[in-house]
């Protein structure tokens, strides 16, 4: 049986790298993001390399649209063998903890948590029935450890992490792997990286951050999935030590 992965949040950076990595491993790939143009471009690139790729546009802020999205994915590959979830809000809105409001969290809950829950509800049962599957995620390391002036979206990422930890324990004996990568680095080729370099060149104060090649991050996720010997990883290694 051909294996497949649905990549939710196939933007520049980790999402696209995950699509390439799993395509290299022989997976059919479903690319999911808001904009059709970049998806079609990546699908053509993958197809040229012999990978079966499908572009599916969706607004992952729309949790109510998940059942229809799931039907569109099944029409192309059936129930996917693996699921990667890594979208980010258009505006993460990092705030001081003292300024955090209910509204700031409410606006970012759908894309960070609600849609993930709905997608797991759609696709996990088939993974359990098969006795094989994987649920993967990559997010910022602020989900693991709170940082000054970086509340807001990371607060919800921490809730996402708690959910994934519980889910990992519940499905471990059913053949389903849950793995999450937490990244404390600027990812090359992303809008964040471009803005970081612009601000740095203009002499603005920016925090020192390691650079991360998205292909390397996708390799880490693949190795976690293939080895199934750990459920979480942090990049760079040792980032949160001490």
For 184, residues 6+ apart whose C-beta sits below 8 A from its C-beta are 140, 141, 142, 209, 210, 234, 235, 236, 239, 240
What pLDDT, on a 0 to 100 scale, did the predictor assign at position 235?
94
Domain count, the chain: 1
pLDDT of residue 242: 46
pLDDT of residue 202: 82
At residue 37, does pLDDT exceed 80?
yes
Residue 77 CA, chain-centre distance (Å), reads 20
Looking at the DSSP bridge assignments, the partners of residue 40 are: none
pLDDT higher than 90, residue 214: yes
What confidence tier does 205 reach under pLDDT thresholds 50, 70, 90?
low
Instruction: Return the pLDDT at 171.
Output: 97
Query: Is 240 among the domain residues?
Result: no
In a domain, residue 242? The reply is: no
Task: Give the domain range for residue 123.
Answer: 4-235
Q: What is the CATH number of the domain that holds 85?
A: 3.40.50.720
Residue 241 lies in a domain: no
CA angle 71, 72, 74 (to 5 degrees): 65
| pLDDT > 90? residue 63 | yes
Alpha helical stretches, state H, 35-152: 36-48, 66-77, 102-106, 109, 115-130
Q: Is the previous residue joined to 145 through a cis bond, with omega within 30 degrees of 0?
A: no
pLDDT in tens, 140-191: 898 998 878 778 888 999 999 999 999 999 999 999 999 999 998 888 888 7
All residues at 6 or more sequence positions from 45 whose CB lies less than 8 Å from its CB, including other chains: none
């Amino acid at each position: 049986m051909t294996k497949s992965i649905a990549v939710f949040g196939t933007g520049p950076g980790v999402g696209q790298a995950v699509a390439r990595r799993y395509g290299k491993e022989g997976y059919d790939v479903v690319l999911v993001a808001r904009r059709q143009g970049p998806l079609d471009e990546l699908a053509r690139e993958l197809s040229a390399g012999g990978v079966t790729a499908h572009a599916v546009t969706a607004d992952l802020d729309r949790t109510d649209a998940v059942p229809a999205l799931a039907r569109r994915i099944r029409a192309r590959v059936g129930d996917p063998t693996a699921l990667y979830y890594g979208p980010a809000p258009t505006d993460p809105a990092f705030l001081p903890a003292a300024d955090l409001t209910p509204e700031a969290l409410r606006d970012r809950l759908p894309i960070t948590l609600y849609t993930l829950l709905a997608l797991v509800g759609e696709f996990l049962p088939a993974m359990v029935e098969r006795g094989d599957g994987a649920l993967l995620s990559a997010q910022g390391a602020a989900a693991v450890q709170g940082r000054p002036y970086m509340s807001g979206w990371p607060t919800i990422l921490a809730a996402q992490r708690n959910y994934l930890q519980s889910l990992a324990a519940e499905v471990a004996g059913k053949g389903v792997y849950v793995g999450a990568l937490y990244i404390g680095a600027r990812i090359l080729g992303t809008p964040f990286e471009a803005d970081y370099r612009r601000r740095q060149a203009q002499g603005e104060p920016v925090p020192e951050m390691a650079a991360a090649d998205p292909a390397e991050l996708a390799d880490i996720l693949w190795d976690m999935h293939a080895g199934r010997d750990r459920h979480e990883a942090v990049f760079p290694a040792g980032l949160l030590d001490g």
